[in-house]
Structure 1
Amino acid sequence: MRSDVPGTRRLSVEDRRAQLVECALTLADRGGMSAVTVRGVAEEAKVSLGVVHYCFDDKEQLVAAMIEKVIAEQLEALIGSIPTGTLATGRDALRTWVDEALTAVWRRAAEYPDRWLLMIESMLFSLRQPIESASAGQAMVQHQTAEKYGRAYLSEIGERCQMRWDIEERTLVRAALQMLFGTVQWWLVDRDDAAARNSLTVVAGWIADSASPK
């Protein structure tokens, strides 16, 4: 199926990949992961099957790109929450900024709950696959991506607030992300905004108490 949309055939490979990922996410938003097929993505993007196969070796590679984008969208809220300019320093300032960052991620998830569900669905699918399957490692990639964003955030906010971490950074990041993700997933069940905010405040306090002034 050739595209009849003017200019679409002039997209670079990178831009075409981005377009196809967006189309795949649109399909997943409508009907979950089972709705994402190579043919469906081609139809949504109004391109031939060959275009999709040129950009992605198979559906598994396309799904991996989808999930990486979703995770990045969610966790960029962490990095984006750090204001420019000079910050107040010390534990109280750190607690305030961490609380705002965690809340930003939760608000993003609350605004686009289907995207968070897509991450969960993809992780469970990955964990159920045979170890030799290309999809089997997707759950690990998800968590490694989340850890990368978390470590970047803690390094930056700690430096800006003139605080050093008393817990090994990777251990701190993993524990903090587990609590953050658990809070979001609990919110998906009960949609209790106040309970989610209270939980995040507790998490922020624990993170701040895990640091000391430089």
Structure 2
Amino acid sequence: MARMPSADRRRQLIEAAIRAMTRDGVSRTTTRSIAAEAGVSLSVFHYCFDSKQALLESVITTITDHSVSLVKEAIRPKATLRETIRAGFQAYWDHVSAHPGEHMLTYELTQYALRQTGFAQLARRQYELYSDTLTELIEQLSHSMEFELRVPVPVLARYLAVMIDGLTLNFLVLGDETAASDILDTVADQVVGLVHDGVVPVVPGAVSPPRSA
């Protein structure tokens, strides 16, 4: 077996775990089956992760990163704030549409953690991660487009986390792309409505209209 830096080996095992759990379910996926999926020995798995709980936390973080990296790229400032926000939502939604099994896995991970003794904090950390990630994205956008919100950033982040979580599950159950798109349009409008009056987002290279008195 070729030697590989431990960080790369961990990533290999995490991605193997995501594939195996998406295919077979969390409860039926064992450390042995993950090692087999990754093409490594069981001893390599235990060298990289000291527990299944540690692996599951890394799986949750990695799945979140898969879509967040796309959103970060999508929310580079555009002509309007609304257009920029909507592009971010679309980037996330394109990932949901392309990888529904991966997103379904996130709900299974939540249920698994809540039902397993000693794992409840994993579900809590999962949902804290969603809010923390959205807080970071909102702060990134408010800095780049120079606007202020009517509500605290953590409040908006938690609201968006709840909305996205519910919308994703609704889509996984009903499969209605049109309804999801309409809802994301509405939420984008709501977010723009939370920007203070008279605060005009600045887009580099664009000519901004005069601010109202």
1:46 is aligned, of 36, 39, 46, to 39
Are 1:25 and 2:18 matched, yes or no? yes
Q: Matches of 1:186 and 1:87 in 2, distance apart?
A: 29
How many residue pairs are counted as aligned between the two chains?
198
The SS at the match of 2:148 is strand
Equivalence map 1:188-203=2 (5 Å): 188-203=172-187
1:15 counterpart residue number = 8
Residue by residue over 1:151-179, the C-alpha shift from the partner in whole angstroms, topping out at 9 and shown as x without a partner, is 12111222222210110110111001211
| Structure 1 residue runs of 4 or more that deviate by more than 6 Å after TM superposition | none
Unaligned runs of 5+ in 2: 201-213
Match status 1:98 vs 2:82: no
CA contact (8 A) 1:23 1:45 kept: yes
The superposition leaves residues 52-96 of structure 1 with CA deviations (integer Å, 9 ceiling, x where unpaired) of: 11110122211221111111112223212122xx644xxxx2122
Highest RCO, 1 vs 2 (Cα 8 Å, sep ≥ 6): 1
The one-letter code sitting in structure 1 at the alignment partner of 2:159 is: A
- Is 1:81 the counterpart of 2:65? The answer is no
Structure 1 CA distance, aligned partners of 2:28 and 2:18? 10
- 2:81 and 2:64 map into 1 onto residues whose CA distance is 24
The alignment status of 1:107 with 2:118, answered yes or no, reads: no
Secondary structure in structure 2 of the residue aligned to 1:180: helix
Please state whether the residue corresponding to 2:27 is helix, strand or coil: helix
Supply the distance in 2 between the matched residues of 1:174 and 1:118 (Cα, whole angstroms). Answer: 21
Matches of 1:129 and 1:16, distance apart in 2: 27
Structure 1 residues 164-214: Cα deviation after superposition (integer angstroms, max 9, x where no partner): 011011011100121122112111111111110000011111111111216
Could you tell me which residue of structure 2 aligns to residue 127 of structure 1? Answer: 114
From 108, 117, 125, give the equivalent of 2:104. Answer: 117
Does structure 2 conserve the Cα–Cα contact (< 8 Å) formed by 1:75 and 1:146? no
Percentage of identical aligned residues: 28
